[in-house]
């Protein structure tokens, strides 16, 4: 299988009044054609900034550096803004969380759908229109032609998210980055949108980076998973391995936190992770999870913990022997 995106040693720093926030530290991953990689973690773990760095859309206070960042075999490092603008929205598309705020209320759906296509393809407007109608139908919107003249406020949340997906697909991207694509939606709509995304991904053989905090979504969608904590990848592996045999104490803690019908008895206490996420400012050393970890030993504070390979594509950032028992 062909690698769509390959990243090695990605760092993102945010300049804040309080100091330099090391939002992403040494993150490496790759996505193949037709594969779903899920970046999962709680707010502030750096999962969204990782995606924004790939698109070169970091906020003004943010800077990134990487050893390697290859998109379809070509390096994105050192590509200027004009060069990135050619890639973004063409071969690399992004679907954001809030369809309410990421669609422009002043333009029609048709206008917004066609914009990127006209920009990248230099085709007559009628062709862009045709493609927009084709994709709106693909994402399950009825009466697609008449929708083109509607404004975002005339659509429901689920429809807006479908429009966002259609917009991402306009130029036939090789990679889609979906940042919490269903968090703002109802459960029934969420299931539909995810099923749609999954079907389209397989049909067009796209790579998908799915960023979410919802372990249920991850379990049902992802082929591979990278669990992030405090800017670092703490565990990676196939989805089945991560869920059936979580190794890192943080991953295990997350799994225990969610009420699962049939697994956790109603009224029974849920597991929780004590303490709060530290802010990665200043000199970071040792395991960043140590002050919340039940397996803490003095060694955890002394040295930086590397990602320890457990098997092909399976790694965990923990030195405790207990994680293997």
Partner 1 sequence: MEIQTVLETRDVTKTYMVGVGVMKAKKPLRAVSGVSLSVKKGSVLGLVGESGCGKSTMAKMILGLENVSSGEIFLGGQSLSSFSPKEIARRVQPVFQDPYASLNPRKSIGSIISLPLRALKVGSAKDLDGKIDEIMDVVGLPPRTKHNYPNQLSGGQRQRVAVARALIMRPEVVLCDEPTSALDVSVQAQILNLLMDLRRELGLTYVLISHDLAVVEHLATKVAVMYLGRIVEEAPTIDLFKQPRHPYTQALLQSVLTPEPHLGLPETHLGIAYPNPIDPPSGCTFHPRCPFAEDICKKEAPSPTGEGGHIVECHFPRS
* Contact yes or no for 50/24 (Cβ under 8 A): yes
Q: At closest approach, how far in Å is the CB of 262 from partner 1? A: 8
* Contact yes or no for 213/41 (Cβ under 8 A): yes
Encoding tokens for residue 279?
A: 């802010």
Helix then strand count (H, E) for the chain reads 12, 13
Q: 69 vs 217, which CB is nearer to partner 1? A: 217
Q: At closest approach, how far in Å is the CB of 139 from partner 1? A: 10
Q: 6 vs 214, which CB is nearer to partner 1? A: 214
Q: Is the dihedral of CA 286, 211, 62, 100 positive or negative?
A: negative
Q: 258 vs 308, which CB is nearer to partner 1? A: 258
Q: 85 vs 281, which CB is nearer to partner 1? A: 281
Q: Alpha-carbon distance 116 to 86, whole Å?
A: 10
Q: At closest approach, how far in Å is the CB of 264 from partner 1? A: 7
Q: At closest approach, how far in Å is the CB of 50 from partner 1? A: 18
Interface residues toward partner 1, by CB under 8 A: 42-43, 140-142, 156-159, 162, 186-192, 194-195, 198, 213-222, 239-240, 243-244, 253-262, 264, 266-273, 276
Q: Alpha-carbon distance 256 to 313, whole Å?
A: 24
Encoding tokens for residue 160?
A: 């807006």
Q: Tokens 């098997």 — which residue?
A: 311
Element (H, E) at 26: strand 19-32
Q: At closest approach, how far in Å is the CB of 299 from partner 1? A: 25
Q: 82 vs 276, which CB is nearer to partner 1? A: 276
């Amino acid at each position: 299988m062909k690698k769509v995106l390959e990243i090695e040693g990605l760092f993102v720093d945010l300049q804040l009044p309080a100091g330099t926030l090391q939002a992403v530290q040494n993150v490496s991953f790759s996505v193949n054609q037709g594969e779903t990689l899920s970046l999962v973690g709680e707010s502030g773990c750096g999962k969204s900034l990782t995606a924004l760095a790939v698109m070169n859309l970091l906020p003004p206070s943010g800077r990134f550096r990487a050893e390697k960042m290859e998109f379809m075999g070509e390096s994105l490092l050192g590509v200027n803004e004009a060069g990135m603008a050619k890639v973004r929205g063409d071969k690399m598309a992004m679907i954001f969380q809030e369809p309410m705020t990421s669609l422009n209320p002043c333009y029609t759906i048709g206008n917004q759908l066609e914009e990127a296509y006209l920009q990248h393809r230099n085709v007559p407007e009628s062709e862009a229109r045709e493609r927009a109608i084709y994709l709106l139908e693909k994402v399950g919107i009825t009466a697609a032609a008449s929708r083109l003249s509607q404004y975002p406020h005339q659509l429901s949340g689920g429809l807006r998210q479908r429009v966002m997906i259609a917009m991402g697909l306009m130029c036939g991207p090789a990679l889609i980055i979906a940042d919490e694509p269903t968090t703002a939606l109802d459960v029934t709509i969420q299931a539909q949108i995810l099923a749609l995304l999954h079907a389209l991904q397989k049909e067009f053989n796209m790579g998908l980076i799915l960023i979410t905090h919802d372990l249920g979504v991850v379990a049902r969608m992802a082929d591979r998973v990278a669990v992030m904590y405090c800017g670092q990848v703490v565990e990676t592996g196939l989805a089945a391995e991560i869920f059936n045999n979580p190794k890192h104490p943080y991953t295990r803690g997350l799994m225990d936190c969610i009420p699962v019908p049939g697994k956790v008895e109603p009224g029974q206490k849920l597991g929780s992770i004590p303490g709060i996420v530290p802010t990665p400012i200043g000199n970071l050393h040792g395991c960043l999870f140590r002050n919340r970890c039940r397996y803490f030993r003095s060694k955890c504070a002394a040295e930086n913990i590397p990602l320890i390979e457990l098997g092909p594509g399976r790694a965990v950032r923990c030195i405790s022997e207990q994680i293997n028992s």
